[in-house]
């Protein structure tokens, strides 16, 4: 199938090795080096690998600094880049984020929306399915490869890989990069990307209500965050020669 329009959702995330969490459960991103989310990068690589005559847009939602990941997306081969940015979007949970992104996507005639399986700064894996609901698109999760010539997608489940026929329009989430994908853009790609404009989309451009985006449009609130420290338990060996005594000892341990 030719002339498909593909939107790739990429996200700027803080380096997971350096990020800290505030008392109200928000990631403290200030002065923390950022990077393109690994799963979003996989989605972008699939789009570029299958590009041919298709048009690929890289789209991100975040502060103006998120232009860095969009510039990187252009280096990898995206045709255009859009940043959804504004203080009205701050504090958005997954549903407010998806609703805001869907408002932008619905303004443009996309056939496919590529997403990472999840983002490393939240790990909820909720936004792609919420996007599909808001847009009215089909969704194909856990994709490992896609064939846009034959319009099929391979999805990986615990016990088997499943090849499905694509029904457009669709949201697809990727869990692996394509085989043999480019990891480092060339100098030509780098120079070409510098010449391209990153288009910034604000609140007024989307035609949505304030109560539908940002913190006001969020339906979930983080009450507290704690670090789980696994407790080591000693191993006790029970002599099984006397089965009655052994069973009694086990039952006593189970009952506490």
- For the stretch 175-198, pLDDT in tens is 988 887 767 788 888 888 998 999
The answer on pLDDT for 152 being more than 80 is yes
Residue 256 located in a structural domain: no
When pLDDT is averaged across residues 150-171 and rounded to a whole number, the result is 93
Q: Is the pLDDT of residue 5 over 70?
A: yes
Residue 68 within a domain:
yes
Tell me the pLDDT tens digit for each residue of 73-85: 999 999 999 999 9
Domain range for 83 is 5-217
Does residue 221 surpass a pLDDT of 90?
no
CA-based nearest residue to 41, from 3, 13, 2, 5: 13
Tell me the pLDDT of the chain averaged across its residues: 86
pLDDT of 227 above 80: no
Is the pLDDT reported for residue 225 higher than 70?
no
Number of domains forming the structure of the chain: 1
CATH number (domain holding residue 174): 3.40.50.620
Residue 251 lies in a domain: no
Say if 235 falls within a structural domain: no
Is the residue at 92 inside a domain? Answer: yes
Contact indicator for 122, 130 with CB cutoff of 8 Å: no
pTM greater than 0.85:
no
Q: What is the pLDDT of residue 153?
A: 95
Question: Tens of pLDDT along 16-55?
Answer: 655 666 655 555 656 566 788 889 999 999 999 887 789 9
Residue 151's pLDDT band (boundaries 50, 70, 90)?
very high
């Amino acid at each position: 199938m030719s002339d498909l329009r593909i939107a790739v959702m990429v996200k700027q995330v803080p380096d997971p090795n350096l990020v800290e969490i505030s008392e109200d459960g928000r990631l403290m991103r200030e002065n923390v080096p950022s990077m393109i989310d690994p799963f979003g990068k996989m989605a972008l690589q699939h789009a570029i690998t299958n590009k041919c005559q298709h048009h690929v847009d890289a789209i991100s939602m975040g502060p103006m600094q998120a232009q860095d990941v969009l510039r990187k997306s252009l280096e990898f081969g995206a045709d255009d880049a859009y940043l959804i940015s504004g203080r009205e979007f701050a504090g958005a949970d997954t549903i407010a984020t998806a609703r805001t992104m869907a408002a932008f996507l619905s303004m443009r005639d996309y056939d496919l929306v590529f997403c990472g399986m999840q983002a490393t700064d939240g790990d909820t894996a909720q936004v792609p399915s919420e996007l599909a609901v808001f847009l009215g698109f089909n969704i194909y999760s856990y994709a490992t490869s896609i064939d846009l010539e034959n319009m099929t997608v391979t999805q990986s489940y615990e016990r088997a890989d499943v090849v499905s026929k694509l029904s457009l329009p669709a949201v697809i989430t990727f869990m692996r990069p394509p085989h043999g994908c480019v990891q480092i853009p060339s100098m030509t790609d780098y120079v070409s990307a510098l010449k391209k404009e990153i288009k910034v989309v604000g609140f007024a451009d989307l035609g949505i209500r304030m109560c539908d985006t940002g913190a006001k449009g969020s339906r979930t609130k983080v009450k507290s965050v704690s670090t789980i420290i696994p407790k080591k338990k000693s191993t006790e060996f029970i002599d099984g020669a006397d089965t009655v005594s052994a069973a009694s000892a086990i039952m006593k341990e189970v009952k506490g």
